[in-house]
Chain A
Amino acid sequence: AQTVTQSQPEMSVQEAETVTLSCTYDTSESDYYLFWYKQPPSRQMILVIRQEAYKQQNATENRFSVNFQKAAKSFSLKISDSQLGDAAMYFCAYRRGSGTSYGKLTFGQGTILTVHP
Protein backbone atom coordinates (compact mmCIF):
# COMPACT_ATOMS: atom_id res chain seq x y z
CA ALA A 1 0.00 0.00 0.00
CA GLN A 2 1.13 3.50 -0.69
CA THR A 3 1.85 5.86 2.18
CA VAL A 4 2.51 9.58 2.29
CA THR A 5 4.30 11.25 5.20
CA GLN A 6 4.53 14.91 6.07
CA SER A 7 6.88 15.23 9.02
CA GLN A 8 6.25 18.91 9.72
CA PRO A 9 2.94 19.43 11.54
CA GLU A 10 3.47 23.21 11.51
CA MET A 11 5.68 25.68 9.71
CA SER A 12 5.89 29.44 9.78
CA VAL A 13 7.37 32.02 7.46
CA GLN A 14 7.70 35.77 7.27
CA GLU A 15 5.85 37.52 4.51
CA ALA A 16 7.98 37.77 1.33
CA GLU A 17 10.30 35.01 2.52
CA THR A 18 10.64 31.47 1.18
CA VAL A 19 9.47 28.31 2.91
CA THR A 20 9.79 24.63 2.02
CA LEU A 21 7.30 21.97 3.07
CA SER A 22 8.49 18.37 3.13
CA CYS A 23 6.79 15.22 1.92
CA THR A 24 7.99 11.67 1.51
CA TYR A 25 6.09 8.75 0.08
CA ASP A 26 6.43 5.05 -0.28
CA THR A 27 5.32 3.08 -3.31
CA SER A 28 6.37 0.17 -5.43
CA GLU A 29 4.67 1.66 -8.48
CA SER A 30 6.62 3.33 -11.27
CA ASP A 31 3.69 5.25 -12.74
CA TYR A 32 2.14 7.76 -10.36
CA TYR A 33 1.32 11.39 -9.73
CA LEU A 34 2.07 13.63 -6.79
CA PHE A 35 0.13 16.68 -5.71
CA TRP A 36 0.14 19.50 -3.24
CA TYR A 37 -3.27 20.69 -2.11
CA LYS A 38 -3.98 23.82 -0.09
CA GLN A 39 -6.81 23.94 2.43
CA PRO A 40 -7.50 27.48 3.67
CA PRO A 41 -9.61 28.10 6.75
CA SER A 42 -12.71 28.07 4.50
CA ARG A 43 -11.95 24.32 4.20
CA GLN A 44 -12.21 23.91 0.43
CA MET A 45 -9.12 22.09 -0.83
CA ILE A 46 -7.58 23.47 -3.97
CA LEU A 47 -4.83 22.02 -6.13
CA VAL A 48 -1.56 23.93 -5.92
CA ILE A 49 0.73 21.89 -8.11
CA ARG A 50 1.03 18.49 -9.75
CA GLN A 51 4.03 16.35 -10.71
CA GLU A 52 3.99 13.35 -12.99
CA ALA A 53 6.50 10.72 -11.88
CA TYR A 54 7.75 10.14 -15.41
CA LYS A 55 8.78 13.77 -15.79
CA GLN A 56 12.25 14.60 -14.58
CA GLN A 57 11.66 18.33 -14.65
CA ASN A 58 10.30 19.79 -11.45
CA ALA A 59 6.86 21.37 -11.76
CA THR A 60 6.47 25.12 -11.25
CA GLU A 61 3.36 27.25 -10.86
CA ASN A 62 4.18 30.91 -10.34
CA ARG A 63 5.56 31.21 -6.78
CA PHE A 64 5.14 27.50 -6.11
CA SER A 65 7.67 24.90 -7.15
CA VAL A 66 8.53 21.36 -6.19
CA ASN A 67 11.72 19.44 -5.63
CA PHE A 68 10.92 15.95 -6.85
CA GLN A 69 13.53 13.36 -5.93
CA LYS A 70 12.18 10.11 -7.33
CA ALA A 71 14.93 7.83 -6.05
CA ALA A 72 14.60 9.27 -2.56
CA LYS A 73 10.79 9.30 -2.83
CA SER A 74 10.74 12.90 -1.74
CA PHE A 75 8.43 15.65 -2.96
CA SER A 76 8.87 19.02 -1.27
CA LEU A 77 6.98 22.22 -1.97
CA LYS A 78 8.75 25.57 -2.08
CA ILE A 79 6.74 28.74 -1.70
CA SER A 80 8.64 31.85 -2.73
CA ASP A 81 7.72 35.42 -1.82
CA SER A 82 5.21 34.15 0.74
CA GLN A 83 1.97 36.08 1.03
CA LEU A 84 -0.56 36.30 3.83
CA GLY A 85 -3.02 34.44 1.62
CA ASP A 86 -0.70 31.44 1.56
CA ALA A 87 -1.59 30.66 5.16
CA ALA A 88 -3.40 27.33 5.13
CA MET A 89 -3.08 23.60 5.72
CA TYR A 90 -1.03 22.00 2.94
CA PHE A 91 -1.51 18.36 2.01
CA CYS A 92 0.80 16.23 -0.06
CA ALA A 93 -1.05 13.53 -2.00
CA TYR A 94 -0.26 10.51 -4.16
CA ARG A 95 -2.21 8.85 -6.94
CA ARG A 96 -1.37 5.75 -8.88
CA GLY A 97 -0.93 6.00 -12.63
CA SER A 98 -3.99 6.31 -14.80
CA GLY A 99 -3.78 2.75 -16.09
CA THR A 100 -4.34 1.25 -12.66
CA SER A 101 -6.24 3.89 -10.83
CA TYR A 102 -9.74 5.21 -10.54
CA GLY A 103 -8.43 8.38 -9.01
CA LYS A 104 -7.98 7.51 -5.35
CA LEU A 105 -5.79 10.10 -3.64
CA THR A 106 -3.66 9.10 -0.65
CA PHE A 107 -2.95 12.09 1.57
CA GLY A 108 -0.28 12.97 4.07
CA GLN A 109 -1.09 14.29 7.52
CA GLY A 110 -0.88 17.91 6.45
CA THR A 111 1.32 20.87 7.41
CA ILE A 112 -0.17 24.04 8.84
CA LEU A 113 1.58 27.05 7.34
CA THR A 114 1.46 30.36 9.19
CA VAL A 115 2.58 33.52 7.42
CA HIS A 116 3.68 36.40 9.65
CA PRO A 117 3.37 39.97 8.39
Chain B
Amino acid sequence: EPEVTQTPSHQVTQMGQEVILRCVPISNHLYFYWYRQILGQKVEFLVSFYNNEISEKSEIFDDQFSVERPDGSNFTLKIRSTKLEDSAMYFCASSVLAPYNEQFFGPGTRLTVL
Protein backbone atom coordinates (compact mmCIF):
# COMPACT_ATOMS: atom_id res chain seq x y z
CA GLU B 1 0.00 0.00 0.00
CA PRO B 2 1.42 3.42 -0.89
CA GLU B 3 2.49 5.57 2.01
CA VAL B 4 4.02 8.93 2.80
CA THR B 5 7.66 8.69 3.86
CA GLN B 6 9.78 11.21 5.74
CA THR B 7 13.50 11.54 6.29
CA PRO B 8 15.30 11.73 8.57
CA SER B 9 13.35 10.16 11.40
CA HIS B 10 15.31 12.23 13.90
CA GLN B 11 17.39 15.35 13.32
CA VAL B 12 19.49 17.10 15.91
CA THR B 13 20.77 20.57 15.12
CA GLN B 14 22.32 23.58 16.80
CA MET B 15 20.33 26.74 17.31
CA GLY B 16 20.73 29.06 14.34
CA GLN B 17 21.43 26.30 11.85
CA GLU B 18 19.34 25.59 8.78
CA VAL B 19 17.50 22.30 8.50
CA ILE B 20 15.64 20.68 5.64
CA LEU B 21 13.04 18.06 6.38
CA ARG B 22 12.13 15.80 3.52
CA CYS B 23 8.92 14.09 2.57
CA VAL B 24 7.94 11.84 -0.29
CA PRO B 25 4.16 12.07 -0.70
CA ILE B 26 2.08 9.35 -2.30
CA SER B 27 2.82 9.47 -6.01
CA ASN B 28 -0.55 10.50 -7.47
CA HIS B 29 -1.31 13.03 -4.73
CA LEU B 30 -1.48 16.71 -5.56
CA TYR B 31 -2.04 18.47 -2.21
CA PHE B 32 0.72 18.53 0.38
CA TYR B 33 0.82 19.67 3.99
CA TRP B 34 3.15 20.17 6.91
CA TYR B 35 2.04 19.94 10.53
CA ARG B 36 4.04 20.03 13.71
CA GLN B 37 3.53 18.71 17.22
CA ILE B 38 5.51 20.15 20.09
CA LEU B 39 5.92 17.52 22.79
CA GLY B 40 2.78 17.28 24.89
CA GLN B 41 0.86 19.76 22.75
CA LYS B 42 -1.59 19.68 19.87
CA VAL B 43 -0.79 18.86 16.30
CA GLU B 44 -0.70 22.25 14.54
CA PHE B 45 -1.13 23.09 10.88
CA LEU B 46 1.80 24.87 9.25
CA VAL B 47 1.16 25.07 5.52
CA SER B 48 -0.66 23.58 2.56
CA PHE B 49 0.81 23.46 -0.95
CA TYR B 50 -0.75 22.85 -4.34
CA ASN B 51 0.38 23.41 -7.90
CA ASN B 52 3.78 24.64 -6.72
CA GLU B 53 2.29 27.35 -4.56
CA ILE B 54 1.41 27.81 -0.93
CA SER B 55 -2.38 27.58 -0.63
CA GLU B 56 -2.69 28.42 3.03
CA LYS B 57 -0.32 28.99 5.94
CA SER B 58 -0.65 29.50 9.65
CA GLU B 59 0.76 32.27 11.84
CA ILE B 60 3.52 29.85 12.85
CA PHE B 61 4.76 29.68 9.27
CA ASP B 62 6.79 32.88 9.27
CA ASP B 63 9.71 33.97 7.10
CA GLN B 64 11.95 31.41 8.75
CA PHE B 65 10.00 28.63 7.07
CA SER B 66 9.76 27.73 3.41
CA VAL B 67 8.45 24.79 1.41
CA GLU B 68 9.44 23.47 -1.94
CA ARG B 69 8.70 20.65 -4.31
CA PRO B 70 12.09 20.49 -6.01
CA ASP B 71 11.24 17.54 -8.24
CA GLY B 72 8.32 15.26 -8.98
CA SER B 73 8.58 13.28 -5.80
CA ASN B 74 9.98 15.27 -2.87
CA PHE B 75 8.30 17.91 -0.73
CA THR B 76 10.59 19.75 1.67
CA LEU B 77 10.25 22.02 4.67
CA LYS B 78 13.18 24.33 5.34
CA ILE B 79 13.77 26.18 8.57
CA ARG B 80 16.40 28.83 7.91
CA SER B 81 17.67 29.62 11.40
CA THR B 82 16.37 27.18 13.95
CA LYS B 83 15.27 28.25 17.41
CA LEU B 84 14.91 26.16 20.54
CA GLU B 85 11.14 26.42 20.22
CA ASP B 86 11.26 24.74 16.79
CA SER B 87 11.95 21.45 18.55
CA ALA B 88 8.95 19.31 17.65
CA MET B 89 7.69 16.41 15.61
CA TYR B 90 7.04 17.49 12.02
CA PHE B 91 4.48 15.58 10.00
CA CYS B 92 4.04 15.67 6.27
CA ALA B 93 0.69 14.75 4.72
CA SER B 94 -0.74 14.49 1.24
CA SER B 95 -4.13 14.08 -0.37
CA VAL B 96 -5.06 12.90 -3.81
CA LEU B 97 -7.15 15.68 -5.36
CA ALA B 98 -9.34 18.22 -3.66
CA PRO B 99 -8.61 19.18 -0.05
CA TYR B 100 -11.66 17.32 1.20
CA ASN B 101 -10.04 14.01 0.35
CA GLU B 102 -8.42 12.06 3.15
CA GLN B 103 -4.99 13.28 4.18
CA PHE B 104 -2.39 10.54 4.52
CA PHE B 105 0.30 11.26 7.08
CA GLY B 106 3.95 10.32 7.19
CA PRO B 107 5.63 8.92 10.31
CA GLY B 108 7.14 12.27 11.23
CA THR B 109 10.60 13.75 11.76
CA ARG B 110 11.61 14.55 15.30
CA LEU B 111 13.60 17.80 15.27
CA THR B 112 15.70 18.59 18.30
CA VAL B 113 17.29 22.04 18.47
CA LEU B 114 20.10 22.39 21.02
Contact = CB atoms under 8 A, between A and B. Distances in A.
Contacts of B105: 37, 44-46
B35 A43 contact: no
B56 A102 contact: yes
A47 interface: yes
Given A43-B107, A43-B108, A46-B105, A103 B43 contact: no
A109 interface: yes
A68 interface: no
A67 to B, nearest CB: 21
Interface stretch (B64-72, B73-81, B94-102): B94-102
Given A43-B108, A44-B107, A103 B100 contact: yes
B43 A91 contact: yes
B91 A98 contact: no
B106 interface: yes
Given A44-B106, A109-B42, A104 B48 contact: yes
Contact of A103 (B41, B48, B91): B48
B107 A42 contact: yes
Interface residues of B, number: 26
A105 B100 contact: no
B31 A103 contact: yes
Interface in A12-53: 33, 37, 42-47, 50
A44 B43 CA distance: 13
Interface string B24-61: 00000001010100000111110010100001101000
B15 interface: no
A103 B35 CA distance: 12
A106 interface: yes
Interface of B: 3, 31, 33, 35, 41-45, 48, 50, 55-56, 58, 89, 91, 95, 98-100, 102-103, 105-108
